[in-house]
Structure 1
Amino acid sequence: MLKFKSLQFLCKDGENDFMAITSSSLHNDRLDLKINTDGDVFTVTVTSNETITIQKMYAEFEFTYNEDDKIFLNGYQSWTDSIEHGIHDKMRGISHIPSAIREKYAFSQYGDYNFSDYRENMHGWTYAYVRRDDTYYFIGSLAENTGFTQIITLPEKNIIAVQKDCSGLEINGEWCALKVMLTEGGEDEVFDRYFDTLGVPPRYGAKPVFGYTSWYNHYQDIDEAALSDDLMSLNSLSAKPEVFQIDDGWQTAVGDWLSVDANKFPNGMKTAADNIKQAGMIPGIWLAPFVCEENSDIFINKKEWLLTNDDLEYVRGGSNWSGFYALDIYNEEVREYIRNVINIVTNDWGYKLLKLDFLYAACIIPRSDKTRGQIMSEAMEFLRECAGDALILGCGVPLASAFGKVDYCRIGCDVSLDWNDKPHMRLMHRERISTRNSILNTVFRRQLDHRAFLSDPDVFLLRPCNISMSEEKRCCLAEINALMGSVLFTSDNFFDYTETEIKELSKILKIRDAKIISADIDDDKLTLRFKIGEKKYIKTYNI
């Protein structure tokens, strides 16, 4: 159903522009452009015998849409909303937000707003599909390490387009410009085929985990006493969690990872890890290795470590904490610092699970010799090398760069203590905090679990206190996380549980081996069909 139509290629050689719109390979005295279709894999390769600057690489494929088709377009990074759409739906960027607010909170840095066109068409990254009943018309990139691949749907033209994020890339020699799989079939059939061809299975030895993380109970207000109380509360459970993860708040500033807040943790982070191990669990800890906040010693005293743009301005990562900035991962001092931090955290302190967050910051700015996709791929390879045998839970990362490199990966935004935040917050960027959005990402990125990595849908929260969600919504969150994710974490203190929450917890632990048959959303009704053993179930949730 997907048939190649044409390719647009634009490059610059010194002061000269070269543009081609073609449906076949080209050759001139400066470069070769080869277009090849081998089975269901479409490839474009550019070879130049001198330095050229790529400005555009864009291919169109004919596809006839039906009115009832559902379109899925994978969002830019972990937190970006990613759901099935109707063919006439639109995506909203951030242009509707007043510029002063956009600048103050650096909303553009969290997603793809600086290098994507949100005016007309819907788009996504790496993989997408059009679903017609139970048939999936699938397109997925096989070369994200040379540059991220944007997939654009144009129903009014009966076109699906792919575009390489490569503007400004200088090449001399051979470059894989596009490599995409175009296939159709049932859900499992197309996703199995894609990941088999991609050749990046989940890391050997990664297993589904049940655990605790401190964030959604204490946020940054953690200390030894609070975590000790939460650790003790786990004794009230018949099912023992495997992981106890300490989240943000233990360090004096984001970026200063070897400077522990002594007021909160007077006995240090090794003692905290030892206490977790003595309780029979894997110690986990949160880090954001590619960023530092304004209040950090790194930002104040190591300006040469910061990533800069073409105007030599420091590159903001967003507005969290005191405001934060990206580090230059190609600065050897930065790399040595990160290596040393991870070595101390894992080997000296004893943490065996690393939640590595805000990873997208590494590739906010492309280089003349590297695309964002190449930078992010190399950044994730570097982290994998540093971590050794420690488990990595990736978060805030363009997902393709994490395929096969992390043990676990977040597939949605942060949940909230309410359902869908205040109305004015819903007008913010696509990566905003939202329990509803988190659930929908879990549903519509469900196919990544056990194929790319083991999926982390973020926490469930069943506690009846310190939360604004109704019991119905809390159960919805817990059940969907258990059905479709392999990381089943909570931030609840189990001393808060009544008999009602204990029964619900027991229930969700029993449905973790379910097989999802289908998921459909109609307005605010989410209908799931799944199997547990040989028994089939249908469940409808008010979303």
Structure 2
Amino acid sequence: MVDEIARLDVDPVHARVYEHGWQSWSPSTTYPADATSWRASGDLSARQHYRIGRPQPPHGFQGEGLLVVDDGAGTTTCFAAESPDRIPSVTARLDGGTLVVASGEPVAVTTAPDIATALTDFGDRFAAAAGAGPFRTPPTVWCSWYHYFTRVTEADVVENLDALDEAGLPVEVVQIDDGWQSKVGDWLTVSDRFESLRGIASRIAATGRRAGIWLAPFLTLPDSALARRHPDWLLPGAAGHNWGAETRGVDPYAASGYLTDVFTMLREAGFDYFKLDFLYAGAIGGIGAYRDGMAHIRRVVGDDAYLLACGAPVLPSVGLCDAMRIGPDIATRYAPRDGDPSTPSQQGAVMNTLGRAWQHGRFWVNDSDCVVARPAVERREEWADVVERFGGLRSASDRIADLDDWGLETTRRLLTHVPAPTPFPSA
């Protein structure tokens, strides 16, 4: 049951609407009031990049936990969630000169002089309600993903570990991304491209750096050992399609013992920086299950470990992680292939980095995504400028040997000057 909660008289020419998306990759930006916000390019994108079970209306807007309306005449109204445990979908559609706002769940309504003030005021209130902070200055990171993708090998990591020293790049964490595991979902066994996790973590530590690792704790492939042995752990319906197959969500409650084993193993192997990806899958069964699952992971890894969330339901994650990817994956190309900015592209990454800049230092450290500065990257100067202004977590993901002089110096500069975990000036 969706109830109308406001009818706002707006100037159709000057009024603006800020729509906040559900998870890391969902578009979050400001639109003219007579527009329709970005829509999923198809069913795959709808499941993997937007809110499962909450289809967008054909016209207008749908903010997940947050929608802000500037009427174009001096008044801004904020419609928002009150806590991370319950996130309403808030819709708005223009009817002549009236914006009709509706929701099926309770919504807090406040006013402000402009959208920027409404967002920062909401951010302060919500962070306090969720118990977010204090925040640590994040480590600088080299990540294997944007050159090697799922084919990364132990030799690749060692090559770049040596190259970091030769180039004098100030990297504190070397993070092994997707590809180290035998299969998505099977986190206790490694692929045949790695000799051992303990061995590579020791090699990283011997250089004076910390070892980091990627995993998707609430996601599995249907042919994984986990899925075959524990079909009762799988959440209903597909979570998306990746790695050439339909993916499934894993119930954080049912798999809690397994998650304890996985993260205990990784800590004992020497990892203390964790990029947790595709986290939206853990919320398919409910926000409470997701939040409890994330809290469980934190208890296992300890308060000293650094948790970077990605593909995560944004507002339900406040108070649960150190850093948050606040946009879709960066890519060597500027525009998304399918026109949907929730999919990998510089266009989408820039849009969300600016649209969620207000969250940095309030909810967590913002991760705009990695610096990619090799010559093959379209409009690389623009991406570097956005990261320099609004990237809180500084990470690089080129093969070091592929960087030209500009790429190397730009990467060095961005890794050298890390912003404090305090709010950015308005974007």
TM-score, length-scaled by structure 1 = 0.71
Q: Please say if residues 181 and 194 of structure 1, whose CA atoms lie closer than 8 Å, have aligned partners that are also in contact.
A: no
What per-residue deviation string (whole Å, max 9, x for no partner) do you get for residues 443-482 of structure 1? 1110001111111111121112xx3x33xx1111122012
Identity %: 23
What per-residue deviation string (whole Å, max 9, x for no partner) do you get for residues 268-316 of structure 1? 10111112222222211011111111231112222122123xxxxxx21
What is the alpha-carbon distance in structure 2 between the residues aligned to residue 483 and residue 132 of structure 1? Answer: 29
From 341, 355, 379, the equivalent of 2:293 is 379
Q: 1:319 aligns to what SS in structure 2?
A: strand
What is the alpha-carbon distance in structure 2 between the residues aligned to residue 249 and residue 136 of structure 1? Answer: 50
Q: Does 1:413 align with 2:343?
A: no
Query: Who is 2:159 aligned against?
Result: 229
Q: Please say if residues 201 and 451 of structure 1, whose CA atoms lie closer than 8 Å, have aligned partners that are also in contact.
A: no
Query: Who is 2:183 aligned against?
Result: 253
Q: 1:194–1:244: structure 2 CA closer, same or farther, 3 Å change rule?
A: same
From 352, 358, 372, the equivalent of 2:272 is 352
Deviation at 1:107, TM superposition (A): 4.6
Q: Please say if residues 136 and 190 of structure 1, whose CA atoms lie closer than 8 Å, have aligned partners that are also in contact.
A: no
What is the alpha-carbon distance in structure 2 between the residues aligned to residue 489 and residue 136 of structure 1? Answer: 39
Q: Does 1:404 align with 2:308?
A: no
What per-residue deviation string (whole Å, max 9, x for no partner) do you get for residues 506-543 of structure 1? 55457754986554xxxxxxxxxxxxxxxxxxxxxxxx
What is the alpha-carbon distance in structure 2 between the residues aligned to residue 377 and residue 189 of structure 1? Answer: 28
What per-residue deviation string (whole Å, max 9, x for no partner) do you get for residues 76-102 of structure 1? 1110122211111113545x74xxxx4
Q: Does 1:307 align with 2:235?
A: yes
Q: Please say if residues 203 and 405 of structure 1, whose CA atoms lie closer than 8 Å, have aligned partners that are also in contact.
A: no
Q: 1:123–1:421: structure 2 CA closer, same or farther, 3 Å change rule?
A: closer
Query: Who is 1:65 aligned against?
Result: 10
Q: Please say if residues 209 and 486 of structure 1, whose CA atoms lie closer than 8 Å, have aligned partners that are also in contact.
A: no
Query: Who is 1:288 aligned against?
Result: 216
Structure 1 runs not aligned, ≥5 long: 1-55, 165-176, 309-314, 366-371, 520-543
Name the amino acid aligned to 1:454.
V
Name the amino acid aligned to 1:290.
F
Q: Please say if residues 75 and 81 of structure 1, whose CA atoms lie closer than 8 Å, have aligned partners that are also in contact.
A: yes
From 59, 63, 74, the equivalent of 1:124 is 63
What per-residue deviation string (whole Å, max 9, x for no partner) do you get for residues 102-138 of structure 1? 4xx5753542263234212211111232347897825
Deviation at 1:420, TM superposition (A): 1.3
From 432, 439, 449, the equivalent of 2:360 is 449
From 363, 371, 396, the equivalent of 1:490 is 396
Q: 2:146 aligns to what SS in structure 1?
A: helix
Q: Please say if residues 134 and 187 of structure 1, whose CA atoms lie closer than 8 Å, have aligned partners that are also in contact.
A: no
Q: Please say if residues 483 and 512 of structure 1, whose CA atoms lie closer than 8 Å, have aligned partners that are also in contact.
A: no
Q: Does 1:163 align with 2:103?
A: yes
Deviation at 1:221, TM superposition (A): 0.8
From 11, 33, 41, the equivalent of 1:87 is 33
Q: Does 1:340 align with 2:261?
A: yes
Deviation at 1:328, TM superposition (A): 2.0
Q: 1:136–1:254: structure 2 CA closer, same or farther, 3 Å change rule?
A: farther
**Segment of structure 1 superposing worse, 349-358 or 430-439:** 430-439
What is the alpha-carbon distance in structure 2 between the residues aligned to residue 446 and residue 196 of structure 1? Answer: 13
Query: Who is 1:264 aligned against?
Result: 193
What is the alpha-carbon distance in structure 1 between the residues aligned to residue 418 and residue 319 of structure 2? Answer: 22
Q: Does 1:112 align with 2:35?
A: no
Deviation at 1:487, TM superposition (A): 0.9
Deviation at 1:385, TM superposition (A): 2.7
What per-residue deviation string (whole Å, max 9, x for no partner) do you get for residues 139-167 of structure 1? 25343444321122233262452424xxx
From 370, 376, 386, the equivalent of 1:480 is 386
Query: Who is 2:251 aligned against?
Result: 328
Q: Please say if residues 140 and 194 of structure 1, whose CA atoms lie closer than 8 Å, have aligned partners that are also in contact.
A: no
Q: Does 1:241 align with 2:171?
A: yes
C-alpha RMSD over aligned residues = 2.7
What is the alpha-carbon distance in structure 1 between the residues aligned to residue 56 and residue 109 of structure 2? Answer: 24
What is the alpha-carbon distance in structure 2 between the residues aligned to residue 340 and residue 330 of structure 1? Answer: 14
Q: 1:114–1:92: structure 2 CA closer, same or farther, 3 Å change rule?
A: farther
Any runs of at least 4 consecutive aligned residues in structure 1 with deviations exceeding 4 A, and if so which?
131-136, 186-189, 509-519
Work out which structure has the larger RCO, using CA pairs closer than 8 Å and 6 or more positions apart in sequence.
Answer: 2
What is the alpha-carbon distance in structure 2 between the residues aligned to residue 181 and residue 133 of structure 1? Answer: 18
Going by fraction, where is strand more abundant, 1 or 2?
A: 1
Q: 1:350–1:508: structure 2 CA closer, same or farther, 3 Å change rule?
A: closer
Q: 1:501–1:325: structure 2 CA closer, same or farther, 3 Å change rule?
A: same
Q: 1:209 aligns to what SS in structure 2?
A: coil
Q: 2:395 aligns to what SS in structure 1?
A: strand
Query: Who is 1:368 aligned against?
Result: none
Q: 1:393 aligns to what SS in structure 2?
A: strand
Q: 2:18 aligns to what SS in structure 1?
A: strand
What is the alpha-carbon distance in structure 2 between the residues aligned to residue 329 and residue 517 of structure 1? Answer: 37
What is the alpha-carbon distance in structure 1 between the residues aligned to residue 73 and residue 325 of structure 2? Answer: 27
What is the alpha-carbon distance in structure 1 between the residues aligned to residue 51 and residue 312 of structure 2? Answer: 12
What is the alpha-carbon distance in structure 2 between the residues aligned to residue 316 and residue 116 of structure 1? Answer: 15
Deviation at 1:493, TM superposition (A): 2.4
What is the alpha-carbon distance in structure 2 between the residues aligned to residue 510 and residue 162 of structure 1? Answer: 46
What is the alpha-carbon distance in structure 1 between the residues aligned to residue 114 and residue 168 of structure 2? Answer: 39
Deviation at 1:70, TM superposition (A): 2.5
What is the alpha-carbon distance in structure 1 between the residues aligned to residue 367 and residue 78 of structure 2? Answer: 24
What per-residue deviation string (whole Å, max 9, x for no partner) do you get for residues 163-205 of structure 1? 24xxxxxxxxxxxx52514120356644443233221464335
Q: Please say if residues 123 and 358 of structure 2, whose CA atoms lie closer than 8 Å, have aligned partners that are also in contact.
A: no
Q: Please say if residues 15 and 71 of structure 2, whose CA atoms lie closer than 8 Å, have aligned partners that are also in contact.
A: yes
Q: Please say if residues 129 and 136 of structure 1, whose CA atoms lie closer than 8 Å, have aligned partners that are also in contact.
A: no
What is the alpha-carbon distance in structure 1 between the residues aligned to residue 260 and residue 249 of structure 2? Answer: 17
Q: Does 1:183 align with 2:111?
A: yes
TM-score, length-scaled by structure 2 = 0.89
Deviation at 1:504, TM superposition (A): 2.6
**Segment of structure 1 superposing worse, 135-144 or 394-403:** 135-144
Q: Which has the larger radius of gyration?
A: 1
What is the alpha-carbon distance in structure 2 between the residues aligned to residue 133 and residue 193 of structure 1? Answer: 19
